[in-house]
Amino acid sequence: MSASHAPDLAPNLALRHGGLRTWLSDVLVRRGGLLVLLMLVPPLLWLGIIYLGSLFVFLGQAVFSIDEFSGTIIREPSSATLIELFRPANFDIVLRTVGIATAVTLLCVVIAFPIAYYAARHAGPRAKAAFYLAVMMPLWSSYLVKVYGWKLLLAKEGAIGWFAGKLGLAGALQSWLDLPIVGGPSLSVSYTGMVLVFAYLWVPFMILPIQAALERVPGSLIEAAGDLGASPGAVFRTVILPLAMPGVVAGAIFTFSLTLGDYIVPQIIGTSALVLGQAVYMQQGTAGNIPLAAAFSLVPILVMALFLTLAKKTGAFDAL
């Protein structure tokens, strides 16, 4: 090869330099921290002052108490309001709500896991697109429409009762409704109905994190477990489930806290007994007892903190 054959590969393509934009780009590239700061300050101000600030101001009210006679708030720190939480009537509300939230979360896990597993490990690209659409679509319609829809489904003469009759399961449905606690006059005025509706509403929030967790599990891990002698059941218990646990916990944070805070579904479906959300709503509204409302609002936060601590202790985050 001789030099005369060398092609002219680089005609002089000059980059445009100069101007304020170039100067700004150069500064931001040289000082990466400045860019991060510029990006984060507005949202941090929003989150820190407007959201967290007002939340803490509200929660702080729990250390105040209310004057029984005048109904005015006594602005002196005391534990009176917090102690009031443990009065049987109030503590029942706490236990009832936590029980419902636990049942909803467990039901969501049972419903969500197979769907998430299919989507993460078996679905092709088209089936996956259909899956996302199917999971997200219920979130696009009004929450109230869905709850009232469920009220009709669950009513004594509703579609579920009718269908159970057609299948010859009317007796089974009736004996379920005859059970204490979970039963009631009809599904729409029982805890069973309330748990079903909550599970229906929140299940997308359980499916998506589990699916994300399962998608990150390399196929070779599942093959390796089988290769080392684990039957499919053992592979599930020892590899798939532990690796999906961070997703299950993330989903449970959603389903648990959404249920703990909701006050609309319990007004439409279920028994007349109060749940936490309704108690907060009543205390800060009609009753005007802001300190007790604040004390009730502390409960979901403490319950979630306890839940996450337990999850960490049992090794749910080991795979992270």
Decide if 241 contacts 309 (C-beta within 8 A).
no
CB of 306 to another protein, least distance (A): 23
The answer to whether 213 and 223 have CB atoms below 8 angstroms apart is: no
* Stretch of 5-13, 18-26, 29-37, 216-224 lying at the interface with another protein (CB under 8 A): 216-224
The CA distance from 191 to 259, in Å, is 13
> Of the two residues 94 and 225, which places its CB atom closer to another protein in the complex?
225
Taking CB under 8 A as the binding criterion, the range among 47-55, 142-150, 198-206, 234-242 that sits at the site for another protein is 234-242
Binding flags for another protein, 148-187, as an x/- string (CB under 8 A): ----------------------------------------
Half-sphere exposure of 167 (CA within 13 A, CB side): 9
Q: Which residues pair with 74 in a beta bridge?
A: 65
Site membership for another protein, residue 238 (CB under 8 A): yes
Nearer CB in complex with another protein: 50/224: 224
26 vs 318, which CB is nearer to another protein? 318
Contact segment (CB under 8 A) with another protein among 14-22, 105-113, 184-192, 235-243 equals 235-243
- 6 vs 13, which CB is nearer to another protein? 6
Q: How far apart are CA 315 and CA 145, in angstroms?
A: 40
Of 2, 70, 218, 313, which one interacts with another protein (CB under 8 A)?
A: 218
For residue 147, the number of C-alpha atoms closer than 13 Å in the C-beta half-sphere is 17
Q: Is 221 in the site for another protein (CB under 8 A)?
A: yes
Residues 288 to 317 in contact with another protein, rule: CB under 8 A: 315
Task: Judge whether 294 and 62 are in contact, CB under 8 Å.
Answer: yes
Which residues touch 135 (CB under 8 Å, ≥6 apart)?
115, 204, 207, 208
Strands 65-66 and 73-74: antiparallel
Which residues in this chain contact another protein in the complex, by CB under 8 A? 218, 220-221, 223-231, 234, 238-239, 242-243, 315, 318-319
